[in-house]
Amino acid sequence: MKILVCISQVPDTSTKIVLKNNNTSVSSDGVTYVLNPYDEWYALIRAIELKESGIATEIHLITVGKADVEPVMRKALALGGDEAIRIDAESSDAYETAGYIAAYAAQVGYDLILCGKESIDYNNGTTGTMLAGLLDMDYIGFATDIQIESGAALVKREIEGGEETDTCNLPLVISCQKGVAEARIPNMRGIMAARTRPLKVIVPSKITAVTEILTYELPPAKAGIKLVSPDDMDGLVALLHTEARVI
C-alpha cells in the first residue's frame, strides 16, 4: 500500500507577525517556520506506524512551496518518509493547493492520502476535502484513529457531541487530528540520512485560484491588567461593573 502525506510549512506560534505592503502580505523577516503540527504529529506519524506494522510499503511526502520549505521537508524525511516531492509554487488558496497535489497524485496513484485537519496559519481545513473531490475519492475528516484491514479503512472521528466509527474502501483521503498517533522526534540516524536525500521538484500544473487575500488585520492589543487589593471589594465590584461589564 502506497501512502501520500500532505505537509505544509507554517510560522512557529511564538513568532511575532509583522504585516507589510499595506497589510496585504506577511513579512518573512525573522519568522521561524516549522512543519505544520497536524501534518507532522498525526498524519505523518500514523503513516509511519502503518509502514512499521507492515501494512504500508511506501510513504511519499508532498508540499506546495518554494525552496525555503526544504528544511521542513527534510525533517519529515528524517521522521520516516521515503520520498519527498515539492511542487514549485506559492499559494494561499486551498483549491489551488489541492489542485497542484491532485494533479501529481493522479499520475502516481495512491491507496491512502493523509493530511492534518488544518494548517495552523490559515486554519481553513478544506484542502483535504477538495483534494478528495478532485481525485474522485471518498473523504473522512477529523480522524482520531485509523486502522487498515483487507483493503478498507476503519476510522474513528469526532462529531458534534460524541464520536462515530466509519468504514470505507480504499483509495481514500483522511484528515487527522489529536489521538490518531503518538508524536515522536527524529533520531540522529534519520536526521543525518535526510540531509543528503534528493528532493523531487515538480513544475506545477496550471490551476486557477478561486480566492484572494485582500488584507490582513492583527488582533487588537491586549489591555493592561489592574490589580485590586483583596480588601477592596467595592473597588473590584465597580471595575467588574464599569469596565469588564460582567455584572
Check pLDDT > 80 for residue 224: no
119 located within any domain: yes
245 located within any domain: no
92 located within any domain: yes
What burial class does residue 224 get, using C-beta atoms within 10 Å of its C-beta: 0-12 exposed, 13-18 middle, 19+ buried?
A: exposed
Domain that holds residue 74: 2-221
215 located within any domain: yes
Measured in whole angstroms, the distance separating CA 81 from the mean position of its chain's CA atoms is 16
30 located within any domain: yes
pLDDT at res. 246: 84
Mean per-residue pLDDT for 224-244?
A: 87
The number of folded domains in the chain is 1
Q: Give the Å distances, CA to CA, from 232 to 90, 145, 237, 241.
A: 57, 52, 9, 14
Check pLDDT > 90 for residue 182: no
pLDDT in tens, 2-48: 999 999 999 998 888 889 999 988 888 888 999 999 999 999 999 99
Q: What is the CATH classification number for the domain harbouring 113?
A: 3.40.50.620
236 located within any domain: no
234 located within any domain: no
247 located within any domain: no
